[in-house]
Amino acid sequence: MKSGYVAIIGRPNTGKSTLLNNLLGHKVTVTSPKPQTTRFLIEAVYEDERGQIIFIDSPGVFGKVEDPVSKKINPKTESLINQKIDAVVYLIDHTRDRDFEENKSLGIVRQFAQPKILAVNKSDIKKPDYWPHYRFMEDEFNKTIHISALYKSNLNYLLDAIFEYLPEGEKIVEAEGRPTPLLNIDSKTFIGEIIREKAYIFLRKEVPYTLAVAVDEVEKRENKMLYIKARIITSADRYKKMIIGEKGRMIKEIGMAARKELETATNQKIYIDLTVEVNTHWYEEMM
C-alpha cells in the first residue's frame, strides 16, 4: 500500500478546485470563475485499492497583492514548502498565456525537492493554445499529463502518476465511515463556503473580493428541518445594498441556490436565515 500528501498548486482560476472535486467524485471545495474563490488550504482524502492520498488544495498564487485579502492568501500557499509533502501537482491552463502570476507560482513549485507532476488543464479546449510557451517546463517535472478537470479526462492517468511517486506506507487517516472526504473543514465552514460560492455566482464582479460568510447556527428543529443562520459580511454599505438587491431579490436568490445544493448534499429539508452586515475589517478577523 502507498500513502502520502499531495499538494495541488497553480495560479488563480486554473481549475484546481474543479480538479480536486472530480478526483474525489465529491464536492469538497467551491468553484467559480472569479479569483480568490479558494482562500485557505483544503485537505481531503482519496482512497482506492492502491492506497491513500491526502490532497491539499491551495489558493491560487496572486501576482499583485495590493488588497488585504490577497495579502492573507499568498502566504498560505507558500507555507506548503514547510509542510510534509510527498508529491506536487502543478496545474496550468494552456488557454491562458504565461504571466507574472504563473512565474511566481512556478517559483514556489521549484522550491520542492519532491516529485512533481505537470498537469496541463483544459485539454478539451483547442484554441487559444499557449502550450508552446509552457513546454520548457517539462524538463523540470517528473511527468507531464494533459487533462480536462471539468470533463474528467485523463484523471485516471494523473492518479496513476501520483501513486507511482508516493512512498510505501499505511493509511494516514481512517477514511471509512467519514461523511465526506474533507479532513480540515467542519460543517459550519462547509455551509459558509457553499453560501459564498452562490454569492460569487449571482453578484457582480467587484463584490466577491469584499465578502465573507459566517455561519452562526446549525440546528435540527422538531420538524426535522435543518435550520441554518448565517451572515454575509461585506466591507461597505454600497456592497450591502447590492447583496440584498432590489426588494431583497438578490439575497433571496443566493439563499435559495445555497439551500437547494445543501438539501441535495444532505438529503434533508433546510431553511436558511440569511442576513447581510457591514464590517470594514472582516478579513482581519476571519482569515
Q: Do 133 and 207 lie in a common domain?
A: no
Domain count across the chain: 2
- Alpha-carbon Rg for the chain in angstroms: 20
Compute the distance between CA of residue 58 and CA of residue 96 in angstroms, rounded to an integer: 20
CATH of the domain at 24: 3.40.50.300
Buried b (16+ CB within 10 A) or exposed e, 173-183: eeeeeeeebbb
Q: Using an 8 Å Cβ cutoff, are 225 and 266 in contact?
A: no
Question: pLDDT tens-digit profile of 197-239?
Answer: 899 888 876 676 678 899 999 998 878 899 999 999 998 898 9
Q: How does residue 286 score in pLDDT terms, banded at 50, 70 and 90? A: low
pLDDT for the residue numbered 32: 63
Question: pLDDT tens-digit profile of 117-165?
Answer: 999 999 999 999 999 999 999 999 999 999 999 999 999 999 999 999 9
pLDDT for the residue numbered 177: 65
pLDDT, averaged across the chain: 87
Look at 224 and 277; give whichever has higher pLDDT: 277
pLDDT for the residue numbered 101: 86
Q: Do 123 and 207 lie in a common domain?
A: no
Cis ω for the linkage preceding 128 (within 30 of 0): yes
Q: How does residue 265 score in pLDDT terms, banded at 50, 70 and 90? A: confident
> Position of cell 461523511?
179
Contacts of 261 (CB under 8 A, 6+ apart): 194, 198
What is the bridge-based pairing of β-strands 51-57 and 87-93? unpaired
Q: Do 142 and 28 lie in a common domain?
A: yes
- CA 191 from chain centre, in angstroms, equals 14
CATH of the domain at 226: 3.30.300.20
pLDDT for the residue numbered 285: 63
Q: Do 131 and 204 lie in a common domain?
A: no
pLDDT for the residue numbered 90: 97
Q: Using an 8 Å Cβ cutoff, are 51 and 67 in contact?
A: no
Q: Do 152 and 247 lie in a common domain?
A: no
Q: Do 55 and 197 lie in a common domain?
A: no
Question: pLDDT tens-digit profile of 17-67?
Answer: 899 999 998 888 776 666 556 666 888 899 999 999 999 988 766 555 555
The span from the first CA to the last CA of the chain, in angstroms, equals 37
Q: Which of 200, 201, 203, 195 is closest to 255 using CA atoms?
A: 195
Residues of the domain holding 31: 2-165
Q: Do 7 and 96 lie in a common domain?
A: yes
Q: How does residue 270 score in pLDDT terms, banded at 50, 70 and 90? A: very high
Residue 179 lies in a domain: no
Q: Do 42 and 128 lie in a common domain?
A: yes
Compute the distance between CA of residue 211 and CA of residue 195 in angstroms, rounded to an integer: 11
With a cut of 80, say whether residue 112 has pLDDT above it.
Answer: yes
